[in-house]
Amino acid sequence: MDSTRRFHFCSSDGFKLTSVMTQWSFSLTAAFGFLVSLTKSSCTQDRALQFLISFNKKPEECKEMNPMKVCSVRLNDGHLMPMLGLGTSAPSKVPKSKVEEAVKTAIDVGYRHIDSAYLYQNEEEIGRAIWKKIADGTVKREDIFYTTKVWGTFFRPELVRTSLDTSLRKLGLSYVNLYLIHFPVALKPGEEFIPKDKDGEVIFDTVDLCATWEAMEKCKDLGLTKSIGVSNFNRRHLERILNKPGLKYKPVCNQVECHPYLNQRKLLEFCKSKDIILTAYAALGTDFRKEWVNKNCPVLLKDPVLNAIAAKHGRTPAQVALRFQLQRGLVALVKSFNEKRIWENYQVFDFQLTPEDMESLDGLNKNIRYFPDEFVNHPDYPFFDEN
Ligand code: NAP
């Protein structure tokens, strides 16, 4: 029997992640994982990953190995983006100190991609965590892929950089790796995240998204961000940017809600056709304690099909939900502030779902949105008053 298994996380248009493992390295995975969980030593998971992946590689190839390269996709501007990212948005009642601990743990475990936003109000804590991990020698700045987002109250072109400068100051960084338009909805500038009038109606702003995008392009040109992209955009929003006369940079990615109950198949196909990476948030079905979440939706991680597939592979439903996205060529974000689950969620590179598993998971689609999108599709929103 051939002792080598080759994992190609390879979709039709060439998002590629290949790792090579021997049959017996599967049992070593478990043994090594057990050791990692016992010792919890700094950066052990990095070494575990490198150890497993480098198993069938010649020494000179191994020299180039690092988790950033191994588990990353190439963006349309040439930069690399790790396929698994730590989410950092938590219900407002969760103390901010938790995110600092979570980011430090995640970096120790091997995560190199951290997702945040101006809106989350946690960038000081994340910055502290990153700097502590740089100071103790676990990582260098260039090992980390950090994302922030511009909120709708900063969509006027002159404010796009202001928001990024604020994030950078809080983080103590000179650049971010990815700067996203958080929502395709401009809101009246000011202190309030969701400005409302005396009748409780949201106050929108009349900013053309293309003007916001040009300001994003300037941030990239200034070196304040390596890449620029969008979030919560539908096909129409994306086309608006892609068809903009004089477009300098395409969005590298579109970060959207995506999980087996909302597989975003059509948007994924469209994004792939434009060389735009789709990034999945709420990949585990989010946290029902969050303010904006629709509490009437079924709980994804309790789904019987997902649980059956997980049991078959000796994995958890969360690991299967994440692996599902990776095998479809998506980048997946996952939030946990719990040490055990941060580690668990990272163990998704050493098993493979079968085509039948993938089909069953794809069949769970119910177009369920945990985050309602009425806001984006609000009839009053001026973006839709196009001539
Ligand atoms: P998520 O990652 O799908 O789920 C987070 C929830 O799952 C938390 O309650 C977490 O609890 C729990 N969890 C984590 N690992 C688990 C495991 N192995 N088993 C069981 N439960 C587990 O949801 P999300 O935070 O909404 O989305 C992820 C990230 O995407 C966010 O943090 C944020 O960075 C980003 N996001 C972006 C947007 C946007 O508009 N662009 C919107 C939403 C989210 P514990 O912490 O206790 O483990």
Question: Confidence band (pLDDT; 50, 70, 90) for 378?
Answer: low
Cα separation, 263 vs 269, whole angstroms: 11
What residues have CB less than 8 Å from 246, skipping those under 6 apart? none
pTM given for the model: 0.85
Using left for φ > 0, alpha for ψ between -120 and 50, and beta otherwise, residue 382 falls in alpha
Does residue 282 have a pLDDT over 50?
yes
Q: Enter the DSSP assignment of 260.
A: T
Mean of per-residue pLDDT scores for the chain: 84
Determine which of 49-53, 170-174, 330-334, 368-372 has the lowest per-residue pLDDT on average: 49-53
Q: Which residues of 244-280 are buried (b: 16+ CB within 10 A; e: fewer)?
A: beeeebbbbbbbbbbbbbbbbeebbebbbeeebbbbb
Please report the pLDDT score of residue 117 as a whole number: 98
pLDDT, tens digit (0-9, with 9 covering 90-100), for 288-336 = 999 889 999 999 999 999 999 999 999 999 999 999 999 999 999 999 9
List the residue whose alpha carbon is closest to atom 11 of ligand 1: 336
> Is 349 touching ligand 1 by the criterion CB < 6 Å?
no
Closest by CA position to 150, among listed 255, 25, 281, 280: 255
> Is 89 touching ligand 1 by the criterion CB < 6 Å?
yes
Show which residues are catalytic.
120
Separation of CA 267 and ligand 1 centre (Å): 21
Please report the pLDDT score of residue 334 as a whole number: 98
* Atom from ligand 1 closest to the CA of residue 334: 2
> Is 316 touching ligand 1 by the criterion CB < 6 Å?
yes
* Atom from ligand 1 closest to the CA of residue 318: 18
Question: Confidence band (pLDDT; 50, 70, 90) for 253?
Answer: very high
Separation of CA 91 and ligand 1 centre (Å): 10
Does residue 65 have a pLDDT over 60?
no
Separation of CA 185 and ligand 1 centre (Å): 23
> Is 232 touching ligand 1 by the criterion CB < 6 Å?
yes
Question: Confidence band (pLDDT; 50, 70, 90) for 372?
Answer: confident
Tokens of 183: 């929502």
List the residue whose alpha carbon is closest to atom 14 of ligand 1: 336
Q: Enter the DSSP assignment of 362.
A: H
Separation of CA 335 and ligand 1 centre (Å): 4
Please report the pLDDT score of residue 292 as a whole number: 84
pLDDT, tens digit (0-9, with 9 covering 90-100), for 107-123 = 999 999 999 999 999 99
**Contact at 8 Å (CB) between 293 and 335?**
no
Separation of CA 284 and ligand 1 centre (Å): 6
Compute how many other C-beta atoms are within 10 angstroms of the C-beta atom of residue 120: 20
Please report the pLDDT score of residue 68 as a whole number: 42
What residues have CB less than 8 Å from 83, skipping those under 6 apart? 9, 17, 71, 72, 73, 113, 326, 330, 331, 332
> Is 122 touching ligand 1 by the criterion CB < 6 Å?
no
